Structure 1
Amino acid sequence: MTNQPSSKIPSCTWNRPIGLGWDKPYTVRYASNIDDGPWHGMPLGGFGAGCIGRSSRGDFNLWHIDGGEHLFKSAPACQFSVFESNGTSSQAYALSTQLPDDGSLKAWQWYAASGGRGAGEQGGGSGFEQQTGTYHALYPRSWFVYENVFQAKLTCEQFSPIWANNYQETSYPVAVFLWNAYNPTDTPITLSIMLTWQNMVGWFTNAQKSPEVRVRDDGSPVYDYQPRWGESQGNYNYLVESPQYLGCFLGRVDIAEPVQEGDGSWCIATLQDAKVEVFHHTKWNPVGAGEEIWSTFADNGSLDNYINATPAAADEQLGAALAVRFTLQPGETLKIPFVLAWDLPVTEFAAGINYYRRYTDFFGKNGQNAWAIATTALAQYHTWQQKIESWQQPIINREDLPSWFKMALFNELYDLTSGGTLWSAASELDPIGQFAVLECLDYRWYESLDVRLYGSFGLLLLFPKLEKSVIRAFARAIPHSDHTPRVIGYYYTIKSESPIAVRKVAGATPHDLGAPNEHVWEKTNYTSYQDCNLWKDLGCDFVLQVYRDYLLTGADDVEFLADCWSAIVQTLDYLKTFDLDGDGIPENSGAPDQTFDDWRLQGVSAYCGGLWLAALEAAIAISQILLNHNLGDLGVLAVQKSTYETWLKQSRPIYQEKLWNGQYYRLDSESGSDVVMADQLCGQFYARLLGLPDIVPSDRALSALKTVYEACFLKFGDGKFGAANGVRPDGSPENPQATHPLEVWTGINFGLAAFLVQMGMKDEGFRLTQAVVEQIYINGLQFRTPEAVTAAGTFRASTYLRAMAIWAIYLFIQ
């Protein structure tokens, strides 16, 4: 605890008045998709450790504790509260504007929401004519600044120890809450800050160990997730302290070895210091009226130091509480740290398939280490805070970057924490563990390769070792096959009989690394919406990401290229089998067989054909590097290189002849469509990114890009929403009922903006980016960025991986 001034909140945060609702937040496009509403805040917790979220109304409401599973539910007893007295009057509030909707905690007084338009929608505490404070977020930090209610000036900074190139603390299951209290008056003020938490041990695992997989109405495979929320029998809380620290340990009796998913411990803790009094209460009823906590706290800011470690009965739930009371003299400032830690070391996929989380490499695997994690945070939080600031500051200080861009650049990284993220413990094969992020919450499978072609730039630039671990997992999967027959969901949505397709063909690049109900990294191609063995972009996406990851991490990890080379050869050979007319370019089949998987392409397509050309160039470059380093069978390598050179020489003129129309590249060679596809030259973008020869002439690329900017962006919705995926040159739809062509895909737009910057059109790139950022951060989509928004104010597929493509823009600005 220090009397140091508070660190300054950056000016480029996403911010919103505390408790202020939205007049017309975006709503979900399809009823089957997840729509939790706009009350999302920055997540807290390390990569793969599970995370929690606290919204701008102050409630803890997001629980991604069970790897890959989503739970959005306010927990009123998990809360900060503040007592204040100036000697003549006092007040106390729980710092959420959202009252419990289950009738609990009626004895508590709840904080008032800020006034203003939309404030009546928050359903929380009584309205307040002026602003009661501001919530700020700049991942991985967020702040609550409380105003016009307390006489003291109070700020709570929240963060987890996440910063670039950090492969230890970034995995920790911990959140730091650093309170800064300042007395601006001319009389002493007594304050008490209380943290209450429920014992949640055992709650976060699926009660259905083998849930049935079914096809949802949108064609996606889904299963039920039933957490054991509220099942607390056998849970206990006890006081734990040292000369420096005091906390409440939240455990459970009879936890078996080895630990099972959901079992382990939680801990809330703070510092002991001569400047403060620390109070505790280890067992209270969080679903009752709450008077056993509130009566003493609201009276004088204390707790009764009640200790009871008796385990909970079958119908009982447990809360714990810590309070820190202190008096500030006029002009005095004090910082008070609280930490929340959890130790739930196991993620279970299918029944019996268990993985330990990365942080267990540093704290052990028995699930009893929440106190050790909490005290580590109390000892190191100041250092962590400095490391985060040192990482962020060079970007924050750049005067050539607008504030909204800096804000979105950092905040879009939220998905690395809350995207159902997995990060396994180290092994001999994977010395920093294996890593994976979901495509999104609605399409719950990991690291969809077509999506991460765009969305992996953040991971690559900030945590390159994790990025390479993902690509290595794809390389290992390519040779394998799985002949399990499946019905394809797309045909279900168009009410047509589905062909039966095998799950995974040997040599085909898998679409994804599996789902949390099976065996991630080992059982791939979970999605069955389309037959991904037929996709024409996945193999190219793999080759391009291999070479990209090599180049952008120093161009010296030749072993990485060698590890991936066999898979590159297999997938390119496999993809070439779809060149049915022998012209050198694999054709699209007329079914949606690429990342735009509701959009039929026929023959040679601009999108897939361009990726094919760029992938061949990348494969030629990789083979030359391996030859230069004498890695592999040099004779075989030379033949492979020559083969790709032959394919490229044959393909390049065909691409021009069949697709260039004098202004832009046609959607494909056989449909006759005049649609301007926004992402028609993704292959050209990647070729330039990787320092490879242009796959199309530069003047044609620029002409196509200007046409895309005009038609898909400026003429679509008056340039307010971003670029639609595909419209006619005048901005009109080819088919007004189409899905993907008329959606604005956030990640595709960020990729397109990066292409604009790459081609010298920086102003246009920023204008496009700003339009998309505003749709997200003004309309209640923050910290759940969707794949798609529409001009009708709807969205699809929240918490989407592709949006981290905003880091590709920063790459080119650098």
Structure 2
Amino acid sequence: MTNHPSSAIPACAWQRPIGLGWEKPYTVRYPSNIDDGPWHGMPLGGFGAGCIGRSHRGDFNFWHIDGGEHVFQNIPSCQFSVFESTNSEENTNSSQAYALSIAIPENGTLTAWKWYPPSENLADKEDKVTPNSQFSTQNSSLLTSQTTGTYHALYPRSWFVYENVLKTQLTCEQFSPIWANNYQESSYPVAVFVWKAHNPTNAPITLSIMLTWQNMVGWFTNASKSPEVKIRDDGSPVYEYQPRLNQSQGNYNFIVENADKIASVMARDGIVTPQEEGEGEWCIATRKHPSVEVFHHTRWNPVGTGNDIWDSFAKDGSLSNIVDTTPANVDEQTGSALAVRITLQPGETLEIPFALSWNFPITEFAEGVKYYRRYTDFFGRGENSAWNLAAIALDEYQQWQQQIQAWQQPILNRGDLPDWFKMALFNELYDLTAGGTLWSAATEKDLYGQFAVLECLDYRWYESLDVRLYGSFGLLMLFPELEKAVMRAFARAIPASDDRTRVIGYYYTIGAESQMAVRKTAGATPHDLGAPNEHVWEKTNYTAYQDCNLWKDLGSDFVLQVYRDFILTGASDRNFLAESWNAIVQTLDYLKEFDLDNDGIPENSGAPDQTFDDWRLQGVSAYCGGLWLAALQSAIAIGNILKTSDKSSENNLDLHTINSQIEKFQTWLSRSLPIYQEKLWNGTYYKLDSESGSDIVMADQLCGQFYTRLLGLPDIVPNECAHSALATVYDACFLKFHNGKFGAANGLHLDGSPENPKATHPLEVWTGINFGIAAFLHQMGMKAEAFQLTEAVVNQIYENGLQFRTPEAITAVGTFRASTYLRAMAIWGIYLVIGEE
């Protein structure tokens, strides 16, 4: 316990009154998509270690403990509670106790507990929050006249500030040890909760804080080891995840302590060293101190009335100090609890830390395909890791806070950046924790381990290359070694082939005859690095919505990201370029085969064959053609670097061969550049493509030009044409699309009208694409326009219940598609461009 002053909550943090919902939160566009509702908070946990989420109503409800799998469910027994006893002016004692969530269990459990009152104007019944009848009856004036506190979030930290209910001024800061260029602590499966309690009165206050937790060992693994893969109504491959929720037989809890810490560890009988996914431990811990009392209870019923711990806690803030290590029977569940009781003198402030850790060291993909998680490099693969993690957290949490602040403060101090931008910049990094993230233990081949983030929860495959063209800027700028690990995986996958065939889902959605396609052609750049039910990093191209072997942007995307990662990480890792060179040559040769008229530019086929995979392009397209030109320039630049690098010979690259490959790419580029301008420039903007006859203004038409400028390469289009096209996009796709309220739609006529009112992708606002266009606007000197566009999209996310589940797409009728989407981290591309000014 310390009396360190509380660090100020940054003014730019996102905030919301505790328990306040939305009248009409955005809902999913398609019923088959995941829609957990708006009760999402900042996730806790390290990258690839599994994570949990606690919403601004106080409930722990987001469980990504099994790599790549999603469980959203309030588990009420996992909760903080507070007891307060005060002396009034009449010298009479009064006390109160609350579980600090406004989400009363809907299953009839824990009826003895008293739940924290929500803030005023609680959302309507659509939000499915049970009214707190206890508080409404006793304190109705509070409900209608004031808030009961505020939730703040600025990833990786969030805060609950409790107000107008307790006499104690009480704040909880919660975080995990994540900061830039940190490849150790950022992997830890741990969360710290730092409670700051201040007595503003002139009389002592007795305060007790309790953390209860359910033993969920064994719950988070798929009961079906070989689930059947089906095609969903939107054409995406899916399989059923069946977690073993509530299967607690053999689970037991015990106390571990030393001179200054005490913990309750939750384990399963008979397991010493975990051998399977789902095996491991949970741990809750706190510090001892001579001026405080610590209580415990190692076996209470989390699905009963809750009286077994609430009676004593609500009476005086204590627990009965029961130590019972009896394993749960087949029909039982078990929980554990720790409580800290203090007496605050008038004017006194104390800090009380709690740690929550978990140790589930194994991630299993297909049956028998197992990986150890990155944190095991530092804590081993056996027992006691949860306790060791919690103990380190309690020793080092203040240094962790300082590291996080030191990383964030230079950005927070910038007066040229609006607060809403700083807020979104950090909060969109939530996906590195919550995005089904994988981070494997290090090997001789992969010194930092292998890393991957899902495209999203609905499209559950990893590191979709077209999406990460914009969406990987955050990873690149903050964790460059992880970024390069992802690209190395793609480089290894390009030469591979997989001759298995599967149905292409797109044709299913349009009612056409199903077509079959080979999964992976040698030389084709894969769309993704695989899915959690197979073998991530080894079996690629999991998505079957389209035949990705025919896509015209993936090969270019790969080359651009390799060169980008080299240039923007100091232009010194020549070994990374050498490792990637053969894949670069192979994929560009493969892509050139689609140049059927030999004009230098591969043609789109008339099927959706690029990232806008519902949108048919025909012939040379502005989007894919521009990326091709930029990729050729990048490949030439890489080749010229490798000609003078000793890393070439180390990677068995022949100088004469490299020279001939550079000459080939230069020939293609010289032929392509005038063709692109001749076929697509219409005097105002670049046409969608050369053969469809469409006059649509495509919002992301000049992504290739953006990349060439970003990487210091020659322009692929004249500067005046780029300015004209970008201004046209801003006017037609943003300002004229519902007056700029939602962001820029993907493709509209010059007057802002749609080509096809029933179209999907052209009429959606893609959050990450918008951030990419905003970065281009900044790059071209249109700074005010860039911020106006960015702010419109940020408002859509954070004012409509989409926080910490940012979707791919938003529509003008208040719907979204594909939550928890990778591409939204493109907002770091805006910061990158701003930082160069």
TM-score tier after normalising by the smaller chain length: over 0.9
**Local SS of the residue matching 1:193:** strand
**For residue 639 of structure 2, what is the aligned residue in structure 1?**
623
Shift of 1:498: 2.3
**Local SS of the residue matching 1:91:** strand
| Structure-to-structure mapping, 1:441-590, within 5 angstroms | 441-590=457-606
> Which of 97, 102, 123 is the aligned partner of 1:97?
102
| Structure-to-structure mapping, 1:780-791, within 5 angstroms | 780-791=801-812
C-alpha distance in 2 between matches for 1:84 and 1:4: 22
| Structure-to-structure mapping, 1:335-350, within 5 angstroms | 335-350=351-366
> Which of 215, 218, 226 is the aligned partner of 1:210?
226
Deviation readout 1:688-720 (Å, 9 max, x if unpaired): 000000000000000000000000000001100
Deviation readout 1:46-68 (Å, 9 max, x if unpaired): 00000000000000000000000
Shift of 1:119: 6.3
| Structure-to-structure mapping, 1:67-216, within 5 angstroms | 67-87=67-87, 88-116=93-121, 118=123, 121=127, 122-125=129-132, 126=135, 128-129=143-144, 130-216=146-232
Shift in alpha-carbon separation, 1:117–1:339, aligned structure 2, 3 A: closer
> Which amino acid is 2:338 matched to?
L
8 Å contact kept, 1:264–1:368 = no
**For residue 730 of structure 1, what is the aligned residue in structure 2?**
751
C-alpha distance in 2 between matches for 1:296 and 1:6: 30
C-alpha distance in 1 between matches for 2:98 and 2:2: 25
**For residue 385 of structure 2, what is the aligned residue in structure 1?**
369
> Which amino acid is 1:810 matched to?
Y
Shift in alpha-carbon separation, 1:367–1:503, aligned structure 2, 3 A: farther
> Which amino acid is 1:751 matched to?
G
C-alpha distance in 2 between matches for 1:208 and 1:687: 47
> Which amino acid is 2:111 matched to?
K
> Which amino acid is 1:269 matched to?
A
**For residue 398 of structure 1, what is the aligned residue in structure 2?**
414
Deviation readout 1:331-376 (Å, 9 max, x if unpaired): 0000000010000000000001000000000001125411011001
Shift of 1:499: 2.1
| Structure-to-structure mapping, 1:749-768, within 5 angstroms | 749-768=770-789
> Which of 639, 643, 648 is the aligned partner of 2:664?
643
> Which amino acid is 1:736 matched to?
P
- Identical aligned residues as a percent: 74
Is the aligned partner of 1:804 residue 2:820?
no
**For residue 654 of structure 1, what is the aligned residue in structure 2?**
675
> Which amino acid is 2:824 matched to?
A
**For residue 140 of structure 2, what is the aligned residue in structure 1?**
none
C-alpha distance in 2 between matches for 1:367 and 1:502: 44
C-alpha distance in 1 between matches for 2:291 and 2:593: 74
C-alpha distance in 1 between matches for 2:691 and 2:293: 77
> Which of 245, 253, 256 is the aligned partner of 1:229?
245
**Local SS of the residue matching 1:656:** helix
8 Å contact kept, 1:161–1:388 = yes
C-alpha distance in 2 between matches for 1:259 and 1:131: 48
> Which amino acid is 2:666 matched to?
E
**Local SS of the residue matching 2:71:** coil
C-alpha distance in 1 between matches for 2:834 and 2:805: 26
C-alpha distance in 2 between matches for 1:117 and 1:323: 30
**Local SS of the residue matching 2:643:** helix
C-alpha distance in 2 between matches for 1:655 and 1:446: 32
8 Å contact kept, 1:19–1:124 = no
C-alpha distance in 1 between matches for 2:762 and 2:264: 54
C-alpha distance in 2 between matches for 1:675 and 1:367: 60
C-alpha distance in 2 between matches for 1:368 and 1:47: 20
> Which amino acid is 1:391 matched to?
W
**Local SS of the residue matching 1:278:** strand
C-alpha distance in 2 between matches for 1:426 and 1:117: 47
Is the aligned partner of 1:308 residue 2:308?
no
Shift of 1:124: 4.5
8 Å contact kept, 1:263–1:367 = no
Deviation readout 1:593-615 (Å, 9 max, x if unpaired): 00000000000000000000000
Shift of 1:123: 2.7
8 Å contact kept, 2:19–2:122 = no
Shift of 1:256: 6.5
C-alpha distance in 1 between matches for 2:108 and 2:437: 34
C-alpha distance in 2 between matches for 1:9 and 1:123: 30
Task: Give 5+ residue unaligned stretches, structure 2.
Answer: 88-92, 137-142
C-alpha distance in 2 between matches for 1:577 and 1:80: 61
**Local SS of the residue matching 1:608:** helix
| Structure-to-structure mapping, 1:215-294, within 5 angstroms | 215-255=231-271, 257=273, 259-294=275-310
Is the aligned partner of 1:708 residue 2:729?
yes
**For residue 814 of structure 2, what is the aligned residue in structure 1?**
793
> Which amino acid is 2:584 matched to?
I
**For residue 4 of structure 2, what is the aligned residue in structure 1?**
4
> Which of 421, 442, 451 is the aligned partner of 1:435?
451
C-alpha distance in 2 between matches for 1:493 and 1:29: 15
Deviation readout 1:378-415 (Å, 9 max, x if unpaired): 01101001000110111111111000000000000000
Runs of 4+ in 1 over 6 A off after TM superposition: none
8 Å contact kept, 1:46–1:174 = yes
**Local SS of the residue matching 1:190:** strand
> Which amino acid is 2:717 matched to?
V
C-alpha distance in 1 between matches for 2:271 and 2:97: 38
C-alpha distance in 2 between matches for 1:275 and 1:488: 66
8 Å contact kept, 2:524–2:587 = yes
C-alpha distance in 2 between matches for 1:711 and 1:81: 53
C-alpha distance in 1 between matches for 2:9 and 2:124: 25
Task: Give 5+ residue unaligned stretches, structure 1.
Answer: none
**Local SS of the residue matching 2:41:** coil
**Local SS of the residue matching 1:89:** strand
> Which of 335, 343, 363 is the aligned partner of 1:319?
335
> Which amino acid is 2:704 matched to?
G
8 Å contact kept, 1:259–1:367 = no
C-alpha distance in 1 between matches for 2:659 and 2:174: 55
C-alpha distance in 2 between matches for 1:491 and 1:143: 47
**Local SS of the residue matching 2:152:** strand
Deviation readout 1:548-606 (Å, 9 max, x if unpaired): 00000000100000000000000000000000011000000000000000000000000
> Which amino acid is 2:107 matched to?
D
> Which of 672, 693, 697 is the aligned partner of 1:672?
693
C-alpha distance in 2 between matches for 1:383 and 1:658: 58
Between 498-507 and 73-82, the greater mean CA deviation after superposition:
498-507
C-alpha distance in 2 between matches for 1:448 and 1:624: 29
> Which amino acid is 1:43 matched to?
P
C-alpha distance in 1 between matches for 2:346 and 2:49: 42
Counting matched residue pairs gives 814
Shift of 1:118: 2.6
- Give the TM-score, by structure 1 length: 0.99
C-alpha distance in 1 between matches for 2:516 and 2:479: 39
Deviation readout 1:479-519 (Å, 9 max, x if unpaired): 00000011100000001012211000000000000000000
